[in-house]
Structure 1
Amino acid sequence: MKKQITSLLVFSALVLAAPSIQANTTPLNSSGNSTSAVASQIDLNTATVTELQRLPGVGISKAKAIVEYRDTKGPFVEVAELTEVKGIGDKMLRKIEDRVFVVK
C-alpha cells in the first residue's frame, strides 16, 4: 500500500511539473492571422468550381454561378458582393463569409 501511495505521489508530481500545452499553438502569418485559417480559406477570385463546392451549402450550381458571375462582372471587390450571385443571399453569406476572402 505504501508503495502505491508513493508511486501515485511521484506520478502526480511528474504530471504537475510537466510543461502545460498551450491552447493555441497555430503559427501566425505576417498579418497576425493563423496560417491554418488562411490556408483553409478560399479566394473568390481564383477558386475553381470544385474548391467552391467545399463551402457549406454550396453545390455545383452555386459554385458555377459564382464562377460565371466572376467571369462576367470581373473579380470580386469584397466578399459581400457574393449576394449579387443568383442563389446567394444574406443567410448564405453569413454561413460562408469567414471561409472566403478576396485579395485587394
Structure 2
Amino acid sequence: MKKLISGLLVLSALAIQAPTVHAQGMSEEGNNASETAPIQQRIDLNSATIEQLVTLPGVGQSKAKAIVKYREEVGPFLEVAQLTQVKGIGEKMLSKIEGYVLVK
C-alpha cells in the first residue's frame, strides 16, 4: 500500500509539473515567433534615424536608408502597412517588423 501511495504521489507531482514545463516551452517559442516591443518602445517610422531603423529585425543599412528616402520624397507614413511601398520591403518583411514600429 505504501508503494501505491508513493507512486501516486510521484505521478501527481509529475502531472502538476508537466503543464508548467509545457507552458514554459510554449512561452519561449512564442517569444521567438511573435516577439513585439511594447508600444512606448516602438520606433516611430516618421522620426526614426537610420541607426534606429537598423535595429529592426531584417533591416540593414540599405533598407533603413530606403525608408528614410521614401519618407523624405513621399512624406510621412500614414500607417505601418505603407512600408511595403518602400523598395525592398514586402509583406514578409513587414510581418517581421510591424510589431516594432508605429506611426505617430
Deviation readout 1:11-59 (Å, 9 max, x if unpaired)? xxxxxxxxxxxxxxxxxxxxxxxxx712321000000000000000000
Structure 1 or 2: larger helix share? 2
Q: TM-score, normalised by structure 1?
A: 0.63
Which amino acid in the other structure matches residue 68 of structure 1? K
- Local SS of the residue matching 1:93: helix
Deviation readout 1:60-100 (Å, 9 max, x if unpaired)? 00000000000000000000000000000000000000100
Q: Which runs of 5+ in 2 are unaligned?
A: 1-36
Equivalent runs, 1:52-63 vs 2, <5 Å: 52-63=53-64
* Count of aligned residue pairs for this structure pair: 68
Which amino acid in the other structure matches residue 88 of structure 1? I
What residue in structure 1 maps to residue 87 of structure 2? 86
Return structure 1 stretches of 4+ with deviation > 4 angstroms: none
Relative contact order (C-alpha < 8 Å, sep 6+): which is higher?
2
Equivalent runs, 1:1-80 vs 2, <5 Å: 37-80=38-81
Which amino acid in the other structure matches residue 75 of structure 2? G
Distance 2:76 2:88 in 1: 18
Q: TM-score, normalised by structure 2?
A: 0.63
Distance 2:41 2:57 in 1: 13
Distance 1:98 1:77 in 2: 16
Distance 1:51 1:40 in 2: 11
What residue in structure 1 maps to residue 29 of structure 2? none
